[in-house]
Structure 1
Amino acid sequence: MKIYLASSWRNEKQPHIVNELRAEGHDVYDFRRPFHTHRGFQWSDIDPNWQAWTAEEYRRHLVTHPQAARGYMNDLRAMEWADCCVLLLPCGRSAHLEAGWFAGRGKPVHILTRDGEEPELMALMATSICIDLDELRGALHGDPIDICDVA
């Protein structure tokens, strides 16, 4: 299966999940190394002081900077290529936009969450909400998660 793993640079588990899914034979898009060739997009590549940008500076760089355009196209092409999305929490706004894009296209979205994550109502759009890697593995193979079997 071709998987788009949507997450965050700040999520320390992201590389581990990429490796686990690849070890099981899945093709996984890794935004940290798009298409296995180079380092993925980071705002700090444009400006180390990016967190101090004004709204106008953010918009201008997003719309006009070649590195932003390249990063966007890498991710968009990978989203079009993928069969499904795995939303690995915690993550940021871009990952949630990506997962929403998949849901809107009718492609499966599997959320991998953990204890301590803030509940999100619109997660009901997801195909599955998995609480560990074993549940995610099953969901990717079409095994339903029995959420009604609670003590």
Structure 2
Amino acid sequence: MARIYAASSWRNEKQPAIVEALRGEGHEVYDFRNPFNGVPGFAWSEIDPHWQAWSAARYRELLTTSAIAARGFVSDLRGMQWADTCVLILPCGRSAHLEAGWFCGQGKRCIILTQDGEEPELMALLATDICVSIDEVLTALRRAA
């Protein structure tokens, strides 16, 4: 079975069900919403409820100095290092795409789960597999076993 890093977004309502489907097949899954360390997943609002109004300089300052940001980063990075496979669950934001790119750069398996309506992305060719359903993801994971 695979050790999977499920990369997605808090806004993706399908992410929890996909994590459960992966676990239901016997895979171990790092879920950024409920990391292994037991601390709830990182959200910018933990640092400042008005984070969306930050200037670029304020963002950089808090990204590099906040203990809350450091805790979230280390938790997710350790999850990435632990995992042998990334499942990028679209739609998602920039962080999840950086995570998937890290997996590709490390030579680790990267599976993209896309759906109708997603904007095409040329660099998706870096991924090991591009799937359009959870069933295709599960099939791709079985092939790799």
* TM-score of the alignment, normalized to the shorter chain, above 0.5: yes
- Amino acid in structure 2 at the alignment position of 1:83: D
Map of 1:56-71 to 2, 5 A cutoff? 56-71=57-72
- Amino acid in structure 2 at the alignment position of 1:136: V
Find the aligned partners of 1:54 and 1:110 in 2 and give their Cα distance: 34
Find the aligned partners of 2:110 and 2:69 in 1 and give their Cα distance: 25
Find the aligned partners of 1:77 and 1:37 in 2 and give their Cα distance: 13
Runs of 5+ unmatched residues, structure 1: 144-151
- Amino acid in structure 2 at the alignment position of 1:95: A
Equivalent residue number for residue 149 of structure 1: none
Q: Give the paired residue count.
A: 143
Q: Deviations over 1:36-84 (max 9, x none)?
A: 6121000000000000000011001100000000000000000000011
Find the aligned partners of 1:107 and 1:113 in 2 and give their Cα distance: 19
For the pair shown, which has the larger CA radius of gyration, 1 or 2?
1
Find the aligned partners of 1:40 and 1:60 in 2 and give their Cα distance: 21
- Amino acid in structure 1 at the alignment position of 2:96: A
Change (3 A) 1:15 1:85: same
The alignment status of 1:34 with 2:35, answered yes or no, reads: yes
Q: Which has the higher contact order (CA 8 A, sep 6+)?
A: 2
TM-score by length of 1: 0.93
Find the aligned partners of 2:37 and 2:80 in 1 and give their Cα distance: 15
The alignment status of 1:98 with 2:127, answered yes or no, reads: no
- Amino acid in structure 1 at the alignment position of 2:46: D
Q: Is the 8 A contact 2:37 2:75 kept in 1?
A: no
User: What fraction of aligned residue pairs are identical, expressed as a percent?
Assistant: 66
Equivalent residue number for residue 7 of structure 1: 8
Aligned-partner SS, 1:135: helix
Runs of 4+ in 1 over 2 A off after TM superposition: none
Equivalent residue number for residue 125 of structure 2: 124
Equivalent residue number for residue 85 of structure 2: 84
